[in-house]
Every structure is written in C-alpha cells, then in structure tokens.
C-alpha cells in the first residue's frame, strides 16, 4: 500500500503506559480530534481503534467496490437497526447500519435547521453560521471542468463558498454523462431547479453531490487527516485491533467522578489498562459510544440496573432518542446502447 504508514497493533508496542489524551475510535471524529490535539508537541495522544488498519485497501478506496464490503467481517461491523415497523407494510424489517468508510463517497452537507436545532437545545456556538467556517476548513474543493459544469448545471455552486486548504479532497470530477444532464434539465422543467449552494444548508431541488479525489477518483474520508506526516509525530500513537471494554472512572471524596484511563483488549485477547493524565475522549460513533459509556456506569439508571451495572453518573440521555436519515434509490429502464450501472453485471468487468 503506497500510502500506508506504520501503526501500533499491540499494546506491547505502546511507548508509554499513560498519555495526556486517549481518544476512543478512529473514525470521522476520532481521527480529526487526535490529529488536532497532537499539533501541540508537548501533549501526548493515544488513538485507539477497534478495527484493523485498512488504509490503502482497494475495496475502501474505490467507491464502486463499496458493496463488496457489506457483510464482510474484515470491513463491516454488521450493525443492524432494531426492527422498523414502518419500513414494511407486512412485516418489520431490520436495516443495516454501515460505518463512515462504507459509503457512496458523496459529500452531503447538513441542513441549516439541524445545526440551529443543536443551538436551540442550549449548545452555544453550534448554529449553522458558527460552524460554517469549520465546514470549509475541513476540505479543499477542486472546481469542475467546463464540460462537467455544463452537464450538471453547476451555476448553483459558488466556488468562493467552498474550502480551499483543508485535508479532505472534494470535487466534481469529469465522469458524468448525458444521464446527469437530463436529470438536471428534467427537474428544472418540473420547477425544482436548485438555486442555492448545498453547503449553505438551505437547498431544495435536484443537485449533484460533490465526490472525492479529483485526480485518482478514490474515496476521501477521515483518514485524509491522518497523513504520513501526522503519523510520524512522536507524541501521537495509533493502536488498532483493540476494543475498549470500559472507561476507567474514579470517584473522589466530594462525590465527583473523573475518567482516569481505559481498559482495552487486543484481538489476541490481551487485556491492559492505559492511563489518561488529562482526558478520555469517546468518539466511537452513535452505536458504540453509548455502550462504552454505559459499561462503567454512565447512563440511564434504569438501563444500568437491568444490566447489574452500578451507576457512577446518572445520564438518562445516553443511548436514547437516536434519529437517522434513510436513503432511497430509484431505477429506470434505459434505451439500448446507453452506458449504465448494468455494466457491473458483467462478471468480466469487475473481479473481486
């Protein structure tokens, strides 16, 4: 793997039994947090990831191979949502819940109202206006070529609105066809022409999502933050193939509780405790983060009691009220001679 950089795969390789910061989860949030914290060379940072290091793997880097990861234990946690009664008229269905690296490589910006709702709940500094500079800071946008701009009717996108020096590559590469042109023209005639840049979070109508790397066409995601240069920082260490079993908590005499480290287990079964001098940061995703908090006793007392876990911090909201969006795909019959996704039905077109 040309872009592969060394990483720790065993607790025996740890440079220290304690770190200033321990970040749990090497996904969208964890990689960013660990990278930014380690910019301070005086602070030591440990990033713990339960999965293996898959950077450079063609199944992940090639957007068209996304489906080859579904159900594959080398890539997929195989998380399933609870039965959804509303998802089928005859029987409840379970729907898979995929990780950040198993996606369509599309850049989808959140709705402005989502951010403003966070602020309304009492989270100061979380409005869409507050967070807009950070959206731009995260990526570098490469403008589309002239032909692509015409095919996609890209007059709704303002190049000045996009990021210019962030680690994540964002582009609209020259891969589009007459189908995409017809898509935009059809919605325009129906009165649903897009007139606002999606990055502003107030878009109605048809638009084309930006994709990843403009030259290689490979997927760009959170690993863009963990460059070979970042990986060589002496104060940052990555520990893969290690499940965090619990956050270690300490109750002081005044009844306050603080996190002092984590207990982890490698894929070989070795268990070890690692100390955090300053903070433990839980960034293991919407599914695994609540579990990591609940196991040592942070969460709803009712849930903890049912699982014979002593309550250290009563937080009824942990693991509750999770909402997610869904996606729906439409298929159409196309005229003979047109190039479509059906090309992938040819076993000689793609062999994996």
Inter-residue contact 261 to 248 (CB < 8 Å): yes
CB neighbourhood size of 153 (10 A): 20
Overall average pLDDT of the 173-196 stretch: 90
The whole-chain average pLDDT of the chain stands at: 87
Inter-residue contact 260 to 323 (CB < 8 Å): no
286 domain residue, yes or no: no
248 domain residue, yes or no: no
Degrees, nearest 5: CA angle 141-237-56: 50
Supply the pTM of this predicted model.
0.88
Q: Is the pLDDT of residue 88 over 70?
A: no
CA distances, 248 to each of 112, 233, 280, 291, 297 (Å):
37, 26, 9, 14, 10
Domain, as residue range, for 164:
106-218
Q: Is the pLDDT of residue 184 over 70?
A: yes
Q: Is the pLDDT of residue 160 over 60?
A: yes
CA distances, 40 to each of 36, 85, 105, 259, 302 (Å):
8, 49, 31, 22, 41
18 domain residue, yes or no: no
Q: Per-residue confidence at 321, pLDDT binned at 50, 70, 90?
A: confident
Q: Is the pLDDT of residue 9 over 90?
A: no
DSSP code at position 155: G
Going edge to edge, which strands form the sheet with 242-251?
Answer: 236-239, 45-48, 18-24, 271-282, 257-266, 242-251
pLDDT, position 6: 46
DSSP code at position 154: G
CA distance 160 to 144: 13
75 domain residue, yes or no: no
If one compares 249 and 62, the residue with the highest pLDDT of the two is 249
If one compares 32 and 72, the residue with the highest pLDDT of the two is 32
Question: Taking Cα atoms as reference points, which of 342, 336, 323, 287 lies closest to residue 118?
Answer: 323
pLDDT, position 145: 93
The residues, any chain, with a CB within 8 Å of residue 264's CB and separated by 6 or more, are: 11, 48, 239, 242, 243, 244, 245, 271, 272, 273, 274
**Coil, helix or strand at residue 149:** helix
165 domain residue, yes or no: yes
In DSSP notation, 103-147 reads: S-----PPPHHHHHHHHHTT-TT-SHHHHHHHHHHTEEEEPPPHH
340 domain residue, yes or no: no
Overall average pLDDT of the 303-316 stretch: 95
Question: Taking Cα atoms as reference points, which of 255, 245, 243 lies closest to residue 295?
Answer: 245
CATH number at residue 191: 3.30.560.10
The number of distinct structural domains making up the chain is 1
CA distance 348 to 46: 44
Inter-residue contact 154 to 184 (CB < 8 Å): no
Tokens representing residue 169 in the block: 């590559």
Inter-residue contact 340 to 334 (CB < 8 Å): yes
Q: Is the pLDDT of residue 3 over 60?
A: no
Kindly report, residue by residue over 55-79, the tens digit of the pLDDT: 888 888 888 888 888 888 888 888 8
């Amino acid at each position: 793997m040309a872009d592969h950089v060394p990483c720790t795969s065993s607790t025996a390789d740890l440079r220290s039994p304690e770190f200033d910061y321990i970040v749990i989860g090497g996904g969208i949030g964890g990689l960013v947090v660990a990278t930014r914290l380690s910019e301070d060379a005086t602070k030591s940072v440990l990033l713990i990831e339960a999965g293996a290091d898959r950077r450079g793997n063609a199944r992940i880097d090639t957007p068209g191979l996304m489906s080859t990861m579904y159900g594959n234990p080398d890539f997929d946690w195989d998380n399933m949502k609870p039965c959804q009664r509303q998802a089928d008229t005859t029987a409840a269905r379970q729907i898979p819940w995929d990780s950040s690296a198993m996606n369509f490589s599309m850049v989808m910006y959140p709705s402005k109202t989502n951010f403003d709702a966070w602020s309304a709940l009492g989270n100061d500094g979380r409005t869409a206006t507050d967070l807009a500079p950070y959206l731009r800071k995260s990526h570098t946008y490469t403008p589309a070529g002239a032909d692509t701009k015409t095919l996609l009717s890209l007059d709704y996108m303002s190049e000045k609105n996009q990021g210019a020096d962030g680690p994540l590559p964002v582009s609209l590469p020259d891969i589009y066809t007459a189908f995409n042109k017809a898509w935009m023209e059809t919605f325009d005639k129906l009165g649903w022409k897009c007139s606002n840049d999606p990055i502003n979070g107030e878009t109605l109508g048809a638009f084309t999502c930006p994709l990843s790397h403009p030259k290689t066409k490979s997927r760009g995601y959170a690993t863009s933050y963990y460059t070979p240069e970042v990986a060589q920082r002496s104060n940052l260490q990555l520990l893969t193939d290690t499940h965090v079993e619990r956050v270690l908590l300490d109750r002081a005499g005044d009844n306050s509780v603080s996190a002092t480290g984590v207990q982890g287990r490698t894929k070989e079964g070795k268990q070890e405790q690692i100390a955090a001098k300053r903070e433990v940061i839980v960034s293991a995703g919407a599914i695994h983060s609540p579990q990591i908090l609940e196991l040592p006793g942070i969460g709803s007392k009712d849930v903890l009691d049912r699982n014979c876990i002593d309550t250290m911090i009563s937080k009824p909201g942990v693991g509750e009220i999770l909402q997610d969006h869904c996606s729906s795909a439409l298929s159409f019959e196309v005229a003979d001679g047109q190039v479509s996704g059906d090309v992938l039905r040819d076993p000689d077109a793609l062999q994996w």
